[in-house]
Structure 1
Amino acid sequence: MYHRMWKFAFIWSLVFITLMCLSPLTFEAQAQEGSVSAPGGSIQAPGSAPAQGSPGLPSNLQNIQNILQNVAPAQEAPAAQPGQISAPQEETPAEAPTYAPVEVGEQMTPEAFSALSDAQLDQLFLNTPASQVMRMLPRFGTEFFRQAPSTYAPVMAVPVGPDYVVGPGDEIRISIWGMIEDQWSVTVDRDGNLSLPGAGVIGAAGMTFSQLQQAIKKEYSRYYTNFDLNVTMGRLRTILVYVVGNARRPGAYTVSSLATLVNALLASGGPSQTGSMRNIQVRRNGKVVTNFDMYDMLLKGDTLNDIRLMPGDVIFIGEVGQLVGIVGNVKRPGLYELKERVRLGDLIDMAGGLTGQSFKGRVQIMRVEDRRYLTLVEGDLDTLGKDFMQRFAVQDGDIVRLFPVARSTSTVRITGPVATPGEYAIEPGITKLSEVINRAGGLSYMASNQAEITRVTVTQLGPVTQHLLINLEKAMRGDPKNDIPLEMNDYIFVRAVPEWDLYATVTISGEVKYPGVYTIKKGETLSDLIERAGGYTDRAFLPGAIFTRESVRESQRRSIDEMVQRLERELYTASAAGTASSLTSEDAKLVEMETQQKRRMLDVLRQTRATGRVVIRLEDPPTLLKKTPYDLLLEEGDHLHIPREAQTINVAGNVLNPSSFIFEPYSTYNNYIEKAGGYGRNADRSRVYLLKADGSAVRVGHLKKPPYIERGDTIIVPEKIQVVSDLRRTSDIVDIVYKTAISAAVVIDALDD
């Protein structure tokens, strides 16, 4: 007995192994033939030519057939390596909005730093090392040099002053009239000489413009009398200066002879991160001719030391001095360079002073000591007094923080049918309900005479919530029992009249006398809408009426999404199991190819649009529709389309010539299939079904006595689905895709007509 059981088990094991080996071979043979079975037409395998749309079918049915033909994996899609399975992607739920964390890194702009919230400032100072905070603070004055240098370049055509020093390359324009009349433009040569037409050569270099004018007039006076003379400057020369030290872009610069120290600094990008803005020297012939402080110009507008440059001048930017940061509620938060001993009050003035929202009750000064933050002063400015502000000196590395005023406002919120719902400030125990309603613009016309006030009272045992019912009509007249004083955080809900809804709209189109968009009232039905539209025309095809509803469309969309997600999970699980059970790498490749095919089928299903169609049955006249299940209550967005009487029958699927044919009474589906050339080689005759004009589907392939075909019907001939692996959901997926797509195509085609 045991011997027979072992023999029986051994035989079945051999059968199972044989089937596992033959399955991928069968799939591979099908792929090499160029088609994979699916309803609605052959699906091209990699390397085969794509099938063209069948002639005679409506455009929407051709599009569906073409989509199904392109479901197969593309030729260029790389085959996954054995054992590699791609999991389905899942939607990531939206996260609640939060403050973005401050990125610790490069220096921030003044605008970006001023936009930081108090929570972000807390996070920055509590979680970031002192050295990094100092690097992130915007340094005062750097914004001045962020502009393009050409914006600040000196204009060449401006008139020069009498103290302008003439040099080689300057153009001199001479106009003379009287005894002699002429005009000349001459240039000072590299030796510093100026050749005067008709007067000789004079030395011009080193003269001021005023001196040159006198010298030219004097020279012409030696040869001419009774004349007037005008001397102006033409094109000015350029000079070469050097910007060295801690500059952003050190080097030699060619600038206009009118250029000043600030012009050269702008051309070089200003001081670098290690450069000083308060210790800038101009060296000429080995001597320091000026010490320039950018803060004088930026804070006071003082350009006294912004001297005009000479050829060969060297601009030296020294090392940055002591740096102190000030943040929070000041007008110009940032990093300031100290040139001398600076007191706390002077630093606040340097930063533009306190803002209008600055809280004098707290100031915090953090000082780096022993390589860690140490709160040196924590107090309020009023208590410390002005003497402390003028005595306490800040030092290198200090960070001063000013805080905003604490929000302490008493507000209530009002919602419902008022002109401007929102929060309103009150004086607790004094401001009355009618005052807040008036501030909110008064009651709207749809407001009822009732309101509800929710009030939370704080007790030692916890909060106590009350709901107070108010008669608004009496409250607006000043009745003390209803026009009650409000407390902080009261929530006022003004009720609208019961079942308030302004109006809803529905659309009726097609073969009715007055198609269009109609407003409806509560309780109106489909028959009422048809009667308001004037009834049907003589060409109305009632069995083909299409009724769509937005709520049904949304429900169908959710169902499709859930079905796709479920099938995708099952596909992933089956694919992993198939790959794990593969004996060779070729088996794994075949499993992956099949998985990719089914994933593309799922993509087609995912792209399928829900129609929202509801199958209905209309009657003529519309009064016969009343009190029947099909006389639906209308909703917002409903759409009823009544097409013209259909003259054709559509045949789609695995037939030799999918097309449309003239309707013939008392004909069965077999008659129309014969007109389409008969069944295809892989047609599944037992699963033929009719897609009726009203949207319902009827399976007829298994009936011995098939029903007659009616106007507008579509005959669907599916293909046989050969499942050659453990992924048994292939037929279900293809069937769902095809039926959903065909249904959508029929609806869209009818609405387009």
Structure 2
Amino acid sequence: MIYKFINSVKIYAIMKNLPIHLLLTLLISFPVFAQDMPLDPAFLSDLPPELTETLLNNAENRSDKVEPFTSPKSAVTKLSRSLDRIQSQLDNVKTDLEAQSNLSKNDLIIFGKQYFSSYQTSYMPINMASYNPGYIVDYGDKLTIQLVGTINKVLDMHVERDGSIMLLSIGKIQIGGLTLERADELIQARVASTQIGTKAFVSLSAVRDMNVFVIGAVEFPGMYTLSGGSSILQVVDAAGGISDQGSYRDIELIRNNNVIESIDLYKPLIEGKVVFKNQLRSGDVLAVRPRLDTIQVSGAVGYQAIYEIKEGEMLDEIIGYAQGLSTSSTQELIYTTANTSSQKSDTKNLNLSQLSNIKPQNGDYIFAPLFEPKPNPIRTVRLTGEVENPGVYSVDPGETLSSILKRAGGYTNVAFPFGGTLIRENTKKIEAEINERIYNDMIKFVASSANAAQVAGSESFALILNEFKKAKPIGRVTAEFNIEKLIRNQELDLPLEDEDHINIPQYNSEVYVLGEVLNPGARLYKPNRSGKDYIDISGGLGKYAENDKTIVIHPNGDAFLLADSYFKFVSKNIDIYPGTIIYIPREIGRLEGVNYAATVAPIFSSLALSIASLNSINN
């Protein structure tokens, strides 16, 4: 079988005048390909009959089946070329995006650039059909004509090279160079005159392709294939838009080596009037010329950009291109122009009436100052508790506590103004900072002090750290809530801030005795009782109480630390009010012969410095 196959190869080589050694080289690798590659019918049809039969027999008689294998050489080559083109387009997109990301708010771009942001390749046909009535019919277009009446037919007619179509029984109709609307009217008239009782309905079913050559300052110059009826804007967009050196106002349409139209894109881009004198035809050349003189326009205008200046244009026309002044404008302009004689810039203020008399120059800059009134944010205060009209109130800047209490209708009969609270968000933030500083400083002290390290493992110290860690800021501000006192003494009348929360509690006739007493809890308030009396009726001091420390907290938030024996409570003239808290702390013991208080004291000393520094910063 192999011998017969080799002889067939030799015969084929002689017939085709091919080198024998080339086919023998292929023959060496043939067993691989014979097993791995499917037989291509087109390839078999090109071989002599005897060689085709041998290949087919060899494929049918194979007993060992292997997985098909296709040589990747051709596929890889095509894929590589496609990837190169795609990568080139991606690089262009990346460059443009990076340039845009580097622009600051004050950077301006040339007007018109934003309208052409697509990335095309001149090897890619662009299908942008146009079927408007003004479309010019020409060679290559396809019309569908439906005849209704005495004759009922649907005809597909192609426009011939001479611009005509041939209708049976009607004859040749010359429509090349006519608009679609005019061609429709002409066909209908011819059908109606030759076929009585028959009407024709004409539609453009397919448009011709045309080649337009784009040169000059565009991103991707070259030959572009577009559908008939495509406009100049579509051609520019297909070419990737106008480059940074190109002009949007000096574009030439060249046909048969003659400039037939000069195009200014500002009219369609600004006014939306996409009307050109000449429709594109196959073989046309579109030339984008270099950029004209420019002027920068920014500020309170409709569209900030760099605008090109044509010869003879005045400053009012440029402002018109920028869509005029916006509603936030001050109706004045700051105009900076180059002084060629002194080589310096001159700046002057202008009003709108002066613009028509000023001819701009290349590099000029005009700025429209703006004023955008923005009202201050609404400040609100939440009022809860025993007031006549609790709720959320808007407050003016500088409005005081007495004012909001009056607006709320005053207090109810069971209100306890002395226990009122004012919670402030700003104070809460300061407390949070202080708590965090306290916790961090305690950790640092333990890490750096030998004495503190001895205490760090104790339950008491761990408790202190845990309390600071879990402490949540309250944000309470001590304030006077007696409306009459506030009116008499304006220094006590605090100005309110946004998101303040005022709460007026109900009257509470209890005094709270807590801490190291035998029976802590609430005691009924009596005006003639002193602080010592409340401790006594709570069972007196406990075994672990600190005899020379007592803390008293009034309902208004004022706190007092009595460092003497509680037996001298009365001599301090500390008043006790309903809702007062009397707290007896526990005495700090000793740890392994070391005075625990002496060890912890430096920690709190450093904390005091931290708190003082925070207060000074916030003040």
Structure with the larger RCO, 1 or 2 (CA within 8 Å, 6+ apart)? 1
TM-score range, shorter chain: 0.3 to 0.5
Name the structure where helix makes up a greater proportion of residues.
2
The structure that has the greater radius of gyration is: 2
TM-score, structure 1 as length reference: 0.38
